[in-house]
Amino acid sequence: MIYLDYAATTPVAPEALTAMLPYLSDAFANPASDHAPGRMARKAVEKARAQVAALIGATAEEIIWTSGATEANNLAIKGALEFRGLDNAHIVTSKTEHKCVLDTCRHLESLHGTRALSVTYLKPGSDGCVTAQQVMAALTPRTVLVSLMWVSNELGTINEVEKLSTMLRERGVLLHVDAVQAAGKLAIDLAATPIDLLSLSAHKIYGPKGIGALFVRKRPRARLAPQLHGGGHEQGMRSGTLAPHQCVGMGAAFALAATRLADDAMRIATLRDRLWMRLQALPRVHRNGSGLAAPHILNLSFEGVEGEALRAMLPGLAVSSGSACSSATAEPSYVLRALGRDDALANASLRFSLGRATTEAEIDLAAQQVIDAVLWLREISGEPGVADIPAPTDNAFDYPAPVWAQFLEAGSNSGEFAPGTPGVQTMRVENRASASWLALHLRLVDERIREARFTAFGCPVGIAVGHWLATQAVGKSAAELRALTATELCRALEIPDDKLHCALMGEDALKSIASL
Protein backbone atom coordinates (compact mmCIF):
# COMPACT_ATOMS: atom_id res chain seq x y z
CA MET A 1 0.00 0.00 0.00
CA ILE A 2 1.30 3.43 -0.97
CA TYR A 3 0.07 5.97 1.58
CA LEU A 4 -0.68 9.36 0.01
CA ASP A 5 -3.26 10.68 2.45
CA TYR A 6 -1.11 12.67 4.86
CA ALA A 7 -3.56 15.60 4.78
CA ALA A 8 -6.10 13.28 6.42
CA THR A 9 -3.72 12.08 9.12
CA THR A 10 -0.07 11.37 9.69
CA PRO A 11 1.67 8.58 11.60
CA VAL A 12 2.92 9.49 15.05
CA ALA A 13 6.57 10.44 14.84
CA PRO A 14 8.90 8.15 16.85
CA GLU A 15 10.08 11.18 18.81
CA ALA A 16 6.50 12.02 19.78
CA LEU A 17 5.69 8.42 20.73
CA THR A 18 8.80 8.15 22.90
CA ALA A 19 7.88 11.38 24.68
CA MET A 20 4.32 10.15 25.31
CA LEU A 21 5.04 6.72 26.77
CA PRO A 22 6.02 7.72 30.33
CA TYR A 23 2.72 9.56 30.72
CA LEU A 24 0.80 6.42 29.81
CA SER A 25 2.47 4.41 32.58
CA ASP A 26 4.28 5.72 35.65
CA ALA A 27 3.71 9.47 35.21
CA PHE A 28 -0.07 9.13 35.10
CA ALA A 29 -1.11 11.87 37.53
CA ASN A 30 -3.76 14.50 36.89
CA PRO A 31 -1.93 17.73 35.97
CA ALA A 32 -4.51 19.72 37.96
CA SER A 33 -3.61 17.88 41.18
CA ASP A 34 -1.58 19.79 43.75
CA HIS A 35 0.89 17.10 44.75
CA ALA A 36 4.32 16.06 43.47
CA PRO A 37 3.12 13.65 40.73
CA GLY A 38 0.49 16.18 39.64
CA ARG A 39 3.05 18.98 39.49
CA MET A 40 5.34 16.74 37.43
CA ALA A 41 2.53 16.10 34.93
CA ARG A 42 1.68 19.82 34.87
CA LYS A 43 5.31 20.69 34.15
CA ALA A 44 5.27 18.34 31.14
CA VAL A 45 2.03 19.89 29.89
CA GLU A 46 3.46 23.39 30.17
CA LYS A 47 6.66 22.40 28.37
CA ALA A 48 4.52 21.00 25.55
CA ARG A 49 2.46 24.20 25.48
CA ALA A 50 5.65 26.20 24.97
CA GLN A 51 6.77 23.84 22.17
CA VAL A 52 3.47 24.35 20.31
CA ALA A 53 3.73 28.10 20.76
CA ALA A 54 7.33 28.18 19.49
CA LEU A 55 6.42 26.70 16.09
CA ILE A 56 3.97 29.53 15.37
CA GLY A 57 5.74 32.46 16.99
CA ALA A 58 3.35 32.72 19.94
CA THR A 59 3.77 32.70 23.71
CA ALA A 60 2.87 29.69 25.84
CA GLU A 61 0.08 31.57 27.64
CA GLU A 62 -1.65 32.08 24.27
CA ILE A 63 -2.12 28.32 23.68
CA ILE A 64 -5.36 26.70 24.84
CA TRP A 65 -5.50 22.89 24.65
CA THR A 66 -8.50 21.35 22.88
CA SER A 67 -9.53 17.89 21.73
CA GLY A 68 -8.60 18.78 18.15
CA ALA A 69 -9.14 21.33 15.41
CA THR A 70 -12.91 20.82 15.32
CA GLU A 71 -13.23 21.90 18.93
CA ALA A 72 -10.71 24.71 18.40
CA ASN A 73 -12.71 26.07 15.46
CA ASN A 74 -15.96 25.82 17.42
CA LEU A 75 -14.44 27.57 20.42
CA ALA A 76 -13.00 30.35 18.28
CA ILE A 77 -16.14 31.12 16.27
CA LYS A 78 -18.85 30.48 18.84
CA GLY A 79 -16.75 31.84 21.65
CA ALA A 80 -15.97 35.12 19.90
CA LEU A 81 -19.55 35.68 18.78
CA GLU A 82 -21.13 34.75 22.09
CA PHE A 83 -18.73 36.95 24.05
CA ARG A 84 -19.59 39.90 21.81
CA GLY A 85 -23.29 39.02 21.58
CA LEU A 86 -25.03 37.50 18.57
CA ASP A 87 -27.48 40.32 18.02
CA ASN A 88 -27.01 42.00 14.65
CA ALA A 89 -23.57 40.37 14.17
CA HIS A 90 -21.98 39.43 10.85
CA ILE A 91 -19.36 36.79 9.95
CA VAL A 92 -17.34 36.48 6.75
CA THR A 93 -16.02 33.08 5.72
CA SER A 94 -15.64 31.08 2.49
CA LYS A 95 -17.57 28.30 0.80
CA THR A 96 -14.50 26.08 0.84
CA GLU A 97 -13.81 26.03 4.59
CA HIS A 98 -13.69 22.79 6.55
CA LYS A 99 -17.10 21.39 7.46
CA CYS A 100 -16.61 22.17 11.14
CA VAL A 101 -16.33 25.88 10.28
CA LEU A 102 -19.23 25.88 7.84
CA ASP A 103 -21.50 23.89 10.15
CA THR A 104 -20.64 26.16 13.08
CA CYS A 105 -21.52 29.25 11.05
CA ARG A 106 -24.78 27.66 9.87
CA HIS A 107 -25.65 26.77 13.45
CA LEU A 108 -25.20 30.39 14.49
CA GLU A 109 -27.31 31.52 11.53
CA SER A 110 -30.09 29.17 12.63
CA LEU A 111 -30.53 30.89 15.99
CA HIS A 112 -33.69 32.97 15.78
CA GLY A 113 -35.45 35.50 17.95
CA THR A 114 -33.54 38.74 18.43
CA ARG A 115 -30.26 37.13 17.36
CA ALA A 116 -30.19 38.35 13.78
CA LEU A 117 -26.74 36.98 12.93
CA SER A 118 -25.77 36.67 9.27
CA VAL A 119 -22.89 35.03 7.43
CA THR A 120 -21.32 35.85 4.06
CA TYR A 121 -19.82 32.80 2.30
CA LEU A 122 -17.21 33.90 -0.24
CA LYS A 123 -16.53 31.91 -3.40
CA PRO A 124 -12.85 31.40 -4.20
CA GLY A 125 -11.44 32.32 -7.58
CA SER A 126 -10.77 29.72 -10.24
CA ASP A 127 -7.30 29.33 -8.73
CA GLY A 128 -8.85 28.12 -5.47
CA CYS A 129 -7.82 31.15 -3.43
CA VAL A 130 -9.77 33.75 -1.48
CA THR A 131 -8.12 37.15 -1.71
CA ALA A 132 -7.81 39.81 0.93
CA GLN A 133 -9.69 42.18 -1.37
CA GLN A 134 -12.65 39.79 -1.53
CA VAL A 135 -12.84 39.65 2.24
CA MET A 136 -12.53 43.40 2.70
CA ALA A 137 -15.25 44.02 0.12
CA ALA A 138 -17.60 41.75 2.09
CA LEU A 139 -17.20 43.60 5.40
CA THR A 140 -20.07 45.60 6.83
CA PRO A 141 -20.30 47.82 9.91
CA ARG A 142 -21.75 44.73 11.67
CA THR A 143 -18.84 42.39 10.86
CA VAL A 144 -17.43 40.88 14.04
CA LEU A 145 -15.30 38.01 12.75
CA VAL A 146 -13.62 36.70 9.62
CA SER A 147 -12.85 32.96 9.60
CA LEU A 148 -10.58 31.76 6.82
CA MET A 149 -8.28 28.74 6.49
CA TRP A 150 -4.62 29.38 5.76
CA VAL A 151 -4.20 26.34 3.50
CA SER A 152 -7.09 24.53 1.84
CA ASN A 153 -7.33 20.98 3.15
CA GLU A 154 -8.54 19.74 -0.25
CA LEU A 155 -6.64 21.91 -2.72
CA GLY A 156 -3.50 22.93 -0.86
CA THR A 157 -3.98 26.53 -2.02
CA ILE A 158 -2.82 29.34 0.26
CA ASN A 159 -5.15 32.19 1.16
CA GLU A 160 -3.88 35.72 1.78
CA VAL A 161 -4.24 35.58 5.55
CA GLU A 162 -1.02 37.45 6.30
CA LYS A 163 -2.00 40.40 4.15
CA LEU A 164 -5.57 40.21 5.41
CA SER A 165 -4.59 40.18 9.08
CA THR A 166 -3.11 43.68 8.93
CA MET A 167 -6.09 45.06 7.01
CA LEU A 168 -8.59 43.60 9.50
CA ARG A 169 -6.61 44.82 12.50
CA GLU A 170 -6.99 48.35 11.15
CA ARG A 171 -10.75 47.82 10.93
CA GLY A 172 -11.06 46.28 14.39
CA VAL A 173 -12.42 42.97 13.04
CA LEU A 174 -11.29 39.69 14.61
CA LEU A 175 -9.54 37.18 12.35
CA HIS A 176 -9.74 33.44 13.01
CA VAL A 177 -7.51 31.18 10.91
CA ASP A 178 -7.77 27.41 10.57
CA ALA A 179 -4.06 26.58 10.23
CA VAL A 180 -4.35 22.79 10.40
CA GLN A 181 -2.74 22.26 6.97
CA ALA A 182 -0.34 25.19 7.32
CA ALA A 183 1.43 24.38 10.58
CA GLY A 184 4.65 22.50 9.96
CA LYS A 185 4.42 23.16 6.21
CA LEU A 186 4.64 26.96 6.07
CA ALA A 187 6.57 29.37 8.26
CA ILE A 188 4.15 30.99 10.73
CA ASP A 189 5.13 33.93 12.91
CA LEU A 190 2.22 35.26 14.95
CA ALA A 191 4.51 37.76 16.62
CA ALA A 192 4.64 39.55 13.25
CA THR A 193 1.23 38.55 11.83
CA PRO A 194 -1.75 40.03 13.75
CA ILE A 195 -4.05 37.00 13.63
CA ASP A 196 -6.34 36.89 16.66
CA LEU A 197 -7.34 33.21 16.81
CA LEU A 198 -5.63 30.23 15.14
CA SER A 199 -6.60 26.54 15.22
CA LEU A 200 -4.11 23.66 15.28
CA SER A 201 -4.25 19.85 15.22
CA ALA A 202 -1.63 17.36 16.38
CA HIS A 203 -2.41 14.43 14.10
CA LYS A 204 -1.79 16.43 10.91
CA ILE A 205 1.77 17.07 12.00
CA TYR A 206 2.96 13.63 13.21
CA GLY A 207 1.40 13.90 16.67
CA PRO A 208 -1.39 11.85 18.29
CA LYS A 209 -5.08 12.05 17.45
CA GLY A 210 -7.47 13.57 19.95
CA ILE A 211 -5.46 16.69 20.79
CA GLY A 212 -5.32 20.16 19.27
CA ALA A 213 -4.95 23.75 20.33
CA LEU A 214 -6.35 27.21 19.83
CA PHE A 215 -4.06 30.23 19.80
CA VAL A 216 -5.83 33.12 21.55
CA ARG A 217 -3.96 36.40 21.28
CA LYS A 218 -3.25 38.15 24.55
CA ARG A 219 -2.20 41.59 23.31
CA PRO A 220 -4.53 42.95 22.07
CA ARG A 221 -6.66 40.40 23.84
CA ALA A 222 -9.12 38.22 21.92
CA ARG A 223 -12.03 37.54 24.25
CA LEU A 224 -14.00 34.28 24.12
CA ALA A 225 -17.01 32.82 25.88
CA PRO A 226 -16.18 29.23 27.00
CA GLN A 227 -18.03 26.39 25.32
CA LEU A 228 -17.22 23.76 27.98
CA HIS A 229 -17.97 24.51 31.60
CA GLY A 230 -16.89 22.62 34.67
CA GLY A 231 -13.63 23.45 36.36
CA GLY A 232 -12.32 26.63 34.82
CA HIS A 233 -9.32 24.92 33.26
CA GLU A 234 -7.29 26.52 30.46
CA GLN A 235 -7.72 30.08 31.75
CA GLY A 236 -11.44 29.49 32.05
CA MET A 237 -11.84 28.91 28.31
CA ARG A 238 -11.96 25.11 28.22
CA SER A 239 -12.83 22.99 31.23
CA GLY A 240 -11.81 19.35 31.49
CA THR A 241 -8.93 17.23 32.75
CA LEU A 242 -5.99 17.40 30.37
CA ALA A 243 -4.34 14.24 29.00
CA PRO A 244 -0.62 14.81 29.59
CA HIS A 245 0.44 12.07 27.15
CA GLN A 246 -1.46 13.76 24.31
CA CYS A 247 -0.20 17.24 25.19
CA VAL A 248 3.37 15.94 25.39
CA GLY A 249 2.96 14.12 22.07
CA MET A 250 1.71 17.27 20.36
CA GLY A 251 4.51 19.33 21.86
CA ALA A 252 7.17 16.89 20.70
CA ALA A 253 5.67 16.72 17.21
CA PHE A 254 5.63 20.51 16.92
CA ALA A 255 9.20 20.79 18.22
CA LEU A 256 10.29 18.24 15.62
CA ALA A 257 8.43 20.12 12.87
CA ALA A 258 10.28 23.30 13.78
CA THR A 259 13.64 21.63 13.11
CA ARG A 260 12.53 20.00 9.84
CA LEU A 261 10.21 22.59 8.32
CA ALA A 262 12.40 23.96 5.52
CA ASP A 263 13.89 20.60 4.51
CA ASP A 264 10.54 18.80 4.61
CA ALA A 265 8.84 21.50 2.58
CA MET A 266 11.49 21.47 -0.15
CA ARG A 267 11.66 17.69 -0.49
CA ILE A 268 7.90 17.15 -0.42
CA ALA A 269 7.22 19.95 -2.91
CA THR A 270 9.72 18.31 -5.29
CA LEU A 271 7.88 14.99 -4.99
CA ARG A 272 4.50 16.65 -5.51
CA ASP A 273 5.77 18.33 -8.69
CA ARG A 274 7.19 15.00 -9.88
CA LEU A 275 3.77 13.37 -9.42
CA TRP A 276 2.04 16.17 -11.32
CA MET A 277 4.56 15.95 -14.15
CA ARG A 278 4.02 12.16 -14.45
CA LEU A 279 0.23 12.43 -14.44
CA GLN A 280 0.21 15.12 -17.10
CA ALA A 281 1.06 12.31 -19.52
CA LEU A 282 -2.68 11.61 -19.38
CA PRO A 283 -4.86 13.75 -21.62
CA ARG A 284 -7.75 15.63 -20.02
CA VAL A 285 -6.47 15.76 -16.45
CA HIS A 286 -7.16 18.96 -14.52
CA ARG A 287 -5.35 20.40 -11.51
CA ASN A 288 -7.78 21.78 -8.96
CA GLY A 289 -6.40 24.95 -7.45
CA SER A 290 -3.74 26.60 -9.54
CA GLY A 291 -2.80 29.35 -7.10
CA LEU A 292 0.09 29.51 -4.67
CA ALA A 293 0.04 26.16 -2.86
CA ALA A 294 1.44 24.41 0.18
CA PRO A 295 4.02 21.73 -0.66
CA HIS A 296 2.15 18.58 0.30
CA ILE A 297 -1.21 18.55 -1.56
CA LEU A 298 -2.10 17.87 -5.20
CA ASN A 299 -5.77 17.64 -6.23
CA LEU A 300 -6.64 16.40 -9.73
CA SER A 301 -9.80 15.62 -11.70
CA PHE A 302 -9.84 13.06 -14.52
CA GLU A 303 -12.23 13.39 -17.45
CA GLY A 304 -13.89 10.31 -18.87
CA VAL A 305 -13.99 8.18 -15.71
CA GLU A 306 -16.48 7.74 -12.89
CA GLY A 307 -15.13 8.45 -9.42
CA GLU A 308 -16.10 5.27 -7.59
CA ALA A 309 -14.80 3.08 -10.40
CA LEU A 310 -11.53 5.00 -10.40
CA ARG A 311 -11.09 4.44 -6.68
CA ALA A 312 -11.90 0.74 -7.05
CA MET A 313 -9.15 0.50 -9.66
CA LEU A 314 -6.58 1.81 -7.16
CA PRO A 315 -6.58 -0.64 -4.24
CA GLY A 316 -2.88 -0.13 -3.71
CA LEU A 317 -3.16 3.62 -3.13
CA ALA A 318 -4.41 5.34 0.00
CA VAL A 319 -5.70 8.63 -1.38
CA SER A 320 -8.63 10.90 -0.62
CA SER A 321 -11.55 11.49 -2.96
CA GLY A 322 -15.17 12.59 -3.25
CA SER A 323 -18.05 10.55 -1.89
CA ALA A 324 -18.87 7.23 -3.52
CA CYS A 325 -21.91 6.76 -5.73
CA SER A 326 -24.51 5.42 -3.32
CA SER A 327 -28.25 4.94 -3.65
CA ALA A 328 -28.06 6.56 -7.08
CA THR A 329 -26.93 9.85 -5.55
CA ALA A 330 -23.46 11.23 -6.25
CA GLU A 331 -22.05 13.63 -3.66
CA PRO A 332 -19.03 15.32 -5.20
CA SER A 333 -16.80 17.59 -3.18
CA TYR A 334 -18.45 20.88 -2.24
CA VAL A 335 -15.01 22.49 -2.46
CA LEU A 336 -14.56 21.46 -6.09
CA ARG A 337 -18.10 22.49 -6.96
CA ALA A 338 -17.41 25.91 -5.43
CA LEU A 339 -14.40 26.07 -7.76
CA GLY A 340 -16.70 25.60 -10.75
CA ARG A 341 -16.08 21.91 -11.46
CA ASP A 342 -19.18 20.08 -12.66
CA ASP A 343 -20.41 17.08 -10.68
CA ALA A 344 -18.74 14.54 -12.96
CA LEU A 345 -15.29 16.14 -12.69
CA ALA A 346 -15.67 16.83 -8.99
CA ASN A 347 -16.57 13.20 -8.35
CA ALA A 348 -13.69 11.92 -10.49
CA SER A 349 -11.10 13.70 -8.39
CA LEU A 350 -8.26 12.45 -6.23
CA ARG A 351 -6.39 14.34 -3.53
CA PHE A 352 -2.80 13.18 -3.21
CA SER A 353 -1.11 14.38 -0.02
CA LEU A 354 2.53 13.60 0.62
CA GLY A 355 4.57 13.27 3.79
CA ARG A 356 7.95 12.60 5.29
CA ALA A 357 7.97 8.90 4.38
CA THR A 358 6.96 9.41 0.72
CA THR A 359 9.63 8.30 -1.77
CA GLU A 360 10.36 8.91 -5.44
CA ALA A 361 9.73 5.24 -6.16
CA GLU A 362 6.29 5.46 -4.56
CA ILE A 363 5.47 8.57 -6.57
CA ASP A 364 6.41 6.90 -9.85
CA LEU A 365 4.52 3.70 -9.03
CA ALA A 366 1.43 5.63 -7.88
CA ALA A 367 1.45 7.72 -11.05
CA GLN A 368 1.59 4.61 -13.24
CA GLN A 369 -1.25 2.96 -11.34
CA VAL A 370 -3.44 6.03 -11.83
CA ILE A 371 -2.58 6.26 -15.53
CA ASP A 372 -3.39 2.56 -16.06
CA ALA A 373 -6.69 2.88 -14.18
CA VAL A 374 -7.84 5.93 -16.11
CA LEU A 375 -6.96 4.40 -19.48
CA TRP A 376 -8.72 1.11 -18.61
CA LEU A 377 -11.92 2.87 -17.55
CA ARG A 378 -11.88 5.10 -20.61
CA GLU A 379 -11.61 1.97 -22.74
CA ILE A 380 -14.69 0.52 -20.99
CA SER A 381 -16.61 3.67 -21.92
CA GLY A 382 -15.69 3.21 -25.57
CA GLU A 383 -12.63 5.35 -26.12
CA PRO A 384 -10.51 3.91 -28.95
CA GLY A 385 -6.79 3.40 -29.08
CA VAL A 386 -6.20 2.48 -25.44
CA ALA A 387 -3.64 -0.18 -24.52
CA ASP A 388 -4.79 -3.47 -23.04
CA ILE A 389 -4.41 -2.88 -19.31
CA PRO A 390 -5.38 -5.51 -16.74
CA ALA A 391 -7.99 -4.71 -14.12
CA PRO A 392 -6.99 -4.85 -10.43
CA THR A 393 -7.36 -8.09 -8.51
CA ASP A 394 -7.72 -6.68 -4.98
CA ASN A 395 -11.38 -6.12 -4.06
CA ALA A 396 -10.44 -3.43 -1.54
CA PHE A 397 -13.95 -1.97 -1.34
CA ASP A 398 -15.65 -5.33 -0.66
CA TYR A 399 -17.95 -5.49 -3.65
CA PRO A 400 -20.00 -8.71 -3.84
CA ALA A 401 -17.86 -11.49 -5.30
CA PRO A 402 -20.00 -11.93 -8.46
CA VAL A 403 -19.89 -8.19 -9.12
CA TRP A 404 -16.13 -8.10 -8.72
CA ALA A 405 -15.62 -11.12 -10.96
CA GLN A 406 -17.66 -9.51 -13.74
CA PHE A 407 -15.86 -6.18 -13.27
CA LEU A 408 -12.47 -7.85 -13.63
CA GLU A 409 -13.53 -9.44 -16.93
CA ALA A 410 -15.19 -6.32 -18.33
CA GLY A 411 -12.36 -5.57 -20.72
CA SER A 412 -12.99 -8.84 -22.60
CA ASN A 413 -16.19 -7.69 -24.30
CA SER A 414 -16.20 -3.93 -23.93
CA GLY A 415 -16.24 -1.60 -26.90
CA GLU A 416 -18.33 -1.01 -29.99
CA PHE A 417 -18.47 -2.81 -33.33
CA ALA A 418 -16.67 -1.30 -36.28
CA PRO A 419 -18.77 1.20 -38.23
CA GLY A 420 -20.76 -0.49 -40.96
CA THR A 421 -20.87 -3.91 -39.29
CA PRO A 422 -24.15 -5.48 -40.50
CA GLY A 423 -26.93 -6.48 -38.10
CA VAL A 424 -25.85 -4.29 -35.18
CA GLN A 425 -28.31 -2.81 -32.69
CA THR A 426 -27.26 -0.42 -29.92
CA MET A 427 -29.36 0.27 -26.83
CA ARG A 428 -28.16 3.12 -24.63
CA VAL A 429 -29.78 4.10 -21.33
CA GLU A 430 -28.70 6.39 -18.53
CA ASN A 431 -29.37 7.09 -14.90
CA ARG A 432 -29.15 10.82 -14.39
CA ALA A 433 -29.24 10.61 -10.61
CA SER A 434 -26.01 8.62 -10.53
CA ALA A 435 -24.57 10.30 -13.66
CA SER A 436 -24.00 6.88 -15.24
CA TRP A 437 -24.94 5.21 -18.52
CA LEU A 438 -24.89 1.77 -20.15
CA ALA A 439 -24.95 0.76 -23.80
CA LEU A 440 -25.43 -2.75 -25.22
CA HIS A 441 -24.14 -3.40 -28.73
CA LEU A 442 -25.67 -6.56 -30.28
CA ARG A 443 -24.80 -8.19 -33.61
CA LEU A 444 -27.71 -10.21 -34.98
CA VAL A 445 -27.57 -13.21 -37.33
CA ASP A 446 -30.68 -15.24 -38.23
CA GLU A 447 -32.76 -13.55 -35.51
CA ARG A 448 -30.28 -14.52 -32.83
CA ILE A 449 -27.58 -12.50 -31.09
CA ARG A 450 -24.27 -13.89 -32.29
CA GLU A 451 -21.99 -11.37 -30.63
CA ALA A 452 -22.50 -8.80 -27.88
CA ARG A 453 -20.43 -5.98 -26.50
CA PHE A 454 -21.04 -3.16 -24.07
CA THR A 455 -19.76 0.26 -23.12
CA ALA A 456 -20.46 1.94 -19.80
CA PHE A 457 -19.69 4.91 -17.62
CA GLY A 458 -20.37 4.29 -13.97
CA CYS A 459 -19.37 2.50 -10.82
CA PRO A 460 -17.98 -1.07 -10.80
CA VAL A 461 -21.49 -2.48 -10.25
CA GLY A 462 -22.81 -0.73 -13.37
CA ILE A 463 -19.83 -1.96 -15.39
CA ALA A 464 -20.33 -5.48 -14.03
CA VAL A 465 -23.98 -5.37 -15.10
CA GLY A 466 -22.95 -4.37 -18.62
CA HIS A 467 -20.42 -7.20 -18.92
CA TRP A 468 -22.84 -9.80 -17.50
CA LEU A 469 -25.62 -8.77 -19.89
CA ALA A 470 -23.31 -8.83 -22.89
CA THR A 471 -22.18 -12.32 -21.90
CA GLN A 472 -25.73 -13.55 -21.34
CA ALA A 473 -26.99 -12.07 -24.61
CA VAL A 474 -25.03 -14.33 -26.92
CA GLY A 475 -27.30 -16.98 -28.53
CA LYS A 476 -30.54 -15.46 -27.25
CA SER A 477 -33.42 -13.80 -29.02
CA ALA A 478 -34.71 -10.33 -28.23
CA ALA A 479 -37.72 -11.79 -26.40
CA GLU A 480 -35.52 -13.93 -24.19
CA LEU A 481 -33.34 -10.96 -23.28
CA ARG A 482 -36.31 -8.69 -22.58
CA ALA A 483 -37.60 -11.28 -20.12
CA LEU A 484 -34.62 -10.70 -17.82
CA THR A 485 -35.50 -8.40 -14.91
CA ALA A 486 -33.65 -6.24 -12.42
CA THR A 487 -34.61 -8.76 -9.74
CA GLU A 488 -32.81 -11.54 -11.63
CA LEU A 489 -29.81 -9.28 -12.14
CA CYS A 490 -29.65 -8.52 -8.42
CA ARG A 491 -29.89 -12.21 -7.60
CA ALA A 492 -27.24 -13.29 -10.12
CA LEU A 493 -24.71 -10.61 -9.12
CA GLU A 494 -25.74 -10.25 -5.47
CA ILE A 495 -26.27 -6.54 -6.02
CA PRO A 496 -26.96 -4.71 -2.72
CA ASP A 497 -29.96 -2.44 -2.25
CA ASP A 498 -27.92 0.76 -2.50
CA LYS A 499 -26.87 -0.27 -6.02
CA LEU A 500 -30.32 -1.27 -7.24
CA HIS A 501 -30.21 1.60 -9.73
CA CYS A 502 -27.45 -0.26 -11.62
CA ALA A 503 -29.69 -3.30 -12.05
CA LEU A 504 -32.60 -1.12 -13.12
CA MET A 505 -30.40 0.53 -15.73
CA GLY A 506 -29.60 -2.93 -17.11
CA GLU A 507 -33.29 -3.83 -17.20
CA ASP A 508 -34.05 -0.58 -19.05
CA ALA A 509 -31.42 -1.44 -21.67
CA LEU A 510 -33.00 -4.85 -22.24
CA LYS A 511 -36.51 -3.43 -22.53
CA SER A 512 -35.34 -1.08 -25.26
CA ILE A 513 -34.25 -3.95 -27.52
CA ALA A 514 -36.39 -3.91 -30.64
CA SER A 515 -37.99 -7.04 -32.05
CA LEU A 516 -35.63 -8.98 -34.32
DSSP state string for 95-136: TTS-HHHHHHHHHHHH--TT---EEEEEPP-TTS---HHHHH
Total residues found in the chain within this entry: 516
State the SS3 of 215-276. EECCCCCCCCCCCCCCCCCHHHCCCCCCCHHHHHHHHHHHHHHHHHHHHHHHHHHHHHHHHH
Neighbouring residues of 404: CB distance < 8 A, sequence distance ≥ 6 = 395, 460, 464
Q: In what order do the strands lie in the sheet with 285-287?
A: 285-287, 297-302, 349-353, 320-321
Residue 389's closest CA among 280, 469, 314, 467?
A: 314
Which letter does DSSP use for residue 301 in this model?
A: E
Please confirm whether the linkage preceding 220 is cis (ω < 30° from 0). Answer: yes
Q: Which residues pair with 442 in a beta bridge?
A: 425, 452
Q: Are 243 and 211 in contact (CB under 8 A)?
A: yes
Q: Are 165 and 331 in contact (CB under 8 A)?
A: no
Q: Are 59 and 198 in contact (CB under 8 A)?
A: no
Helix (H) or strand (E) holding 486: helix 486-493
Does the annotation count 325 as an active-site position?
A: yes
Which amino acid makes up residue 220?
Answer: P
Q: Are 68 and 37 in contact (CB under 8 A)?
A: no
| Choice among 100, 247, 325, 490 that is catalytic | 325
* Neighbour-count burial for 93-109, b at 16+ CB within 10 Å, e otherwise: bbebbbebbbebbeebe
Q: How far is residue 31's CA from residue 480's CA, in Å, rounded to a whole number?
A: 76
Active-site positions read 325
